[in-house]
Amino acid sequence: MLLEKIYSERGWDFRNYKRASLKRRIQKRFAALNAGSCKDYCRSLDTDPAEYDRLFSTLTIKVSEFFREPEVFDFLSRTVAERFKRDEGIKAWCCGCAFGEEAYSLAIVLSECLSAEGLKNSRVFATDIDSDALDTARKAVYRGESLRNVTQEVQENYFFKVDGMHKVKYNIRNLVKFGTQDIVKSPSISKVQVLFCRNLFIYFNKFLQEKVFEKLDYSLVPGGLLVLGKAEVLPPRFASGYTPLGERLSVYEKKA
Ligand SMILES: C[S@@+](CC[C@H](N)C(=O)[O-])C[C@H]1O[C@@H](n2cnc3c(N)ncnc32)[C@H](O)[C@@H]1O
């Protein structure tokens, strides 16, 4: 009933997200408002429409950090260096980019692997359903905890300090283009060569995983690289179209 209400009032479609995780998140809002039942909570939504935004923010879990699962980024750096030409541009897409940590990490990898000419023709498209998170991402200012996987050398090369915080340098920010996109409802980006979609499928039920994966599959060019979260696997219907690379990293190459 609540999910239907959110969908009809705001167009946010959480109906095929995993119920257990949604329930835990919704309970947090119930507790914050002392709502004893779904009916009580719906009344709060009607009397205080700003509660929709608080609920939305609670339901879209945005935990991330730079170079999350560093072994995946190490592997990716080697693979990009081996498979792509230094002077040719790469079109990358980071779907479900939260506050931008992953998109900037990917831009740093491209910076390390490509020449100035290659970078000039490269772009990381970074999308998320949460436009407030993207406003924060565009500012590119982070607390030290978000950089715990970033080596001193990379920090010195790609960040500078502002008021005790870490800001991503302009050359990296310039590679990343943020845009609001609900991957459940919107069409995907075409001709992508490196596609990150990590820690988003874990929130979807099987039906939605397949539906969204169809869009990712459409986006990637043959030979393109797909990176899922380490706890995520390809929907079985698509598995034969991809070759796993590396050891249990959830990095795949799309077959020709
Ligand atoms: C846990 S974060 C993952 C961040 C990053 N990819 C990582 O692995 O560190 C999941 C992100 O997916 C976004 N998200 C949830 N539903 C979405 C949808 N339908 N379309 C696009 N993004 C969505 C959330 O707003 C959140 O920022």
pTM, whole model, 2 decimals? 0.96
Distance 161 CA to ligand 1 centre (A): 27
Sequence-distant (6+) residues with CB within 8 A of 23 are none
Atom of ligand 1 nearest to the CA of 183: 20
Residue 31: is it exposed, middle or buried by C-beta count within 10 angstroms (0-12/13-18/19+)?
exposed
Domain boundaries, the chain: 2-59, 70-254
Neighbours of 141 (CB within 10 A): 16
Alpha carbons within 13 angstroms on the beta-carbon side of residue 78 total 8
Ligand 1 midpoint to CA 64 (Å):
9
Pocket of ligand 1 (CB under 6 A): 60-64, 68, 96-98, 102, 128-130, 133, 181-184, 198-200, 229
Task: State the CB neighbour count (10 A cutoff) for residue 115.
Answer: 11
Domain with residues 70-254, CATH architecture: 3-Layer(aba) Sandwich (3.40)
DSSP character at residue 21: H
What does pLDDT average to in each consecutive run of 10 residues of the chain (256 residues)? 94 95 95 93 95 95 96 97 97 98 98 98 98 98 98 98 97 98 95 98 96 97 97 94 94 96
How many A from CA of 197 to the centre of ligand 1?
8
